[in-house]
């Protein structure tokens, strides 16, 4: 039953991506109420904004760990919309090779709840993989908070499976994924999952991470250096800033800690939220800088520790 709900919500997300053009201009997903207003951040000068395609990967890390994954990617044109092989989807991939970003949802969340943001990142030129974690998502029969300790391994598995698509003859994304430039982003418990990817011996191709209202997983942060960005609402009652700041303080690599004034735990994740415009532009520029080497994007990043 849960699998059918995920696929149904993914189908709704496909429609939303197609209807929204460059994405970020509609509600986050079918299960959520439409926002009161929308905020569209104009594309940075000199950057292409792509239509977005979506496919569903039915992954499984063992018999009891299904990892249905939504894969958002830059598409060539809505004129070429049609089914793609290896899962439900729409949109012929755009020409080029695009860095890979893995997104991890929070407790009782799902990729669909963050669909507008994920679409926006894909529209900016990234392949975005968003797994549904089996025991902490909104589709779980009972949310098991303790299962988050297993999610970093789930995330590594998903990254490996998506990377492989780049070399699968005949796959629509073959030759389209830049497997050497990878980032991870996560919110709340997904931030913990993201931190857990940056442990000793992690793949050096994992070059950067964004932790939104998250905390440190055991063993993080070690291994090859990676640039880290922390986003935190000043009025977050779920994950206080002292918790995320403690994780930030343990990072030995280049890092930034950005406080979003007046924001709570999740008031920057959907169009219309008070912090959405700052979150969207900051994350996109951070990814462009750390994965594409875009110096202009680096200069556009907020320089203060607190932003409105």
Mean pLDDT of 186-201: 98
Q: What is the DSSP string of 60-76?
A: ESSTT-EEEEEEEEEBS
Distances (CA, A) of 255 to 1, 226, 268, 286: 42, 9, 20, 11
pTM of the model: 0.85
- Sequence-ordered strand ranges (E) for 169-219: 177-187, 206-212
Extract the tokens encoding 154: 């789930």
pLDDT, tens digit, for every residue of 231-276? 999 999 999 999 999 999 999 999 999 999 999 999 999 999 999 9
Mean pLDDT of 110-115: 97
* pLDDT tier at 70, thresholds 50, 70, 90: very high
Instruction: Give the CATH fold of the 2-36+43-307 domain.
Output: Rossmann fold (3.40.50)
Please give the distance of CA 148 from its chain centroid, rounded to a whole number.
17
Q: What local confidence, expressed as pLDDT, does residue 91 receive?
A: 76
Mean pLDDT of 31-55: 56
pLDDT, tens digit, for every residue of 276-291? 999 999 999 999 999 9
Residue where the block lists tokens 């729409």: 90
Q: Structural domain boundaries of the chain?
A: 2-36+43-307
Q: What local confidence, expressed as pLDDT, does residue 219 receive?
A: 97
Does residue 18 register a pLDDT over 80? no
Q: What local confidence, expressed as pLDDT, does residue 15 receive?
A: 44
Q: What local confidence, expressed as pLDDT, does residue 163 receive?
A: 98
CA dihedral 231, 29, 175, 50 (to 10 degrees): -80
Burial grade of 77 (CB within 10 A; 0-12, 13-18, 19 or more): exposed
Rounded mean pLDDT of the chain?
85
């Amino acid at each position: 039953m849960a699998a059918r709900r995920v696929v149904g919500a993914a189908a709704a997300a496909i429609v939303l991506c197609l209807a929204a053009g460059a994405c970020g201009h509609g509600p986050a997903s079918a299960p959520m109420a439409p926002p009161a207003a929308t905020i569209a951040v104009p594309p940075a000068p000199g950057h292409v904004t792509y239509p977005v395609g979506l496919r569903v990967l039915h992954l499984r890390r063992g018999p009891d760990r299904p990892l249905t994954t939504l894969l958002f990617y830059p598409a060539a044109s809505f004129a070429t919309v049609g089914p793609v092989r290896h899962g439900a989807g729409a949109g012929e991939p755009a020409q080029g090779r695009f860095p890979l970003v893995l997104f991890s949802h929070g407790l009782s969340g799902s990729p669909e709840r963050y669909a507008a943001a994920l679409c926006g990142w894909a529209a900016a030129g990234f392949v975005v993989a968003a797994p549904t974690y089996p025991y902490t998502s909104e589709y779980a029969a009972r949310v098991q908070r303790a299962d988050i300790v297993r999610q970093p391994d789930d995330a590594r598995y998903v990254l490996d499976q998506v990377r492989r698509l780049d070399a699968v003859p005949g796959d629509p994304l073959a030759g389209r994924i830049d497997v050497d430039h990878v980032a991870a982003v996560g919110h709340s418990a997904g931030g913990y999952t993201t931190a857990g990817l940056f442990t000793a011996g992690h793949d050096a191709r994992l070059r950067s991470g964004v932790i939104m209202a998250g905390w440190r997983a055991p063993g993080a942060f070690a291994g090859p250096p990676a640039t880290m960005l922390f986003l935190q609402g000043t009025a977050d009652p779920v994950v206080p800033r002292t918790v995320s700041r403690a994780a930030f303080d343990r990072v030995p690599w280049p890092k930034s800690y950005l406080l979003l004034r007046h924001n709570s735990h999740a008031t920057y994740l959907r169009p219309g939220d008070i912090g959405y415009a700052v979150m969207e532009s900051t994350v996109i520029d951070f990814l462009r800088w750390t994965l594409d080497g875009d110096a202009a994007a680096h200069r556009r990043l907020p320089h203060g520790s607190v932003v409105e």
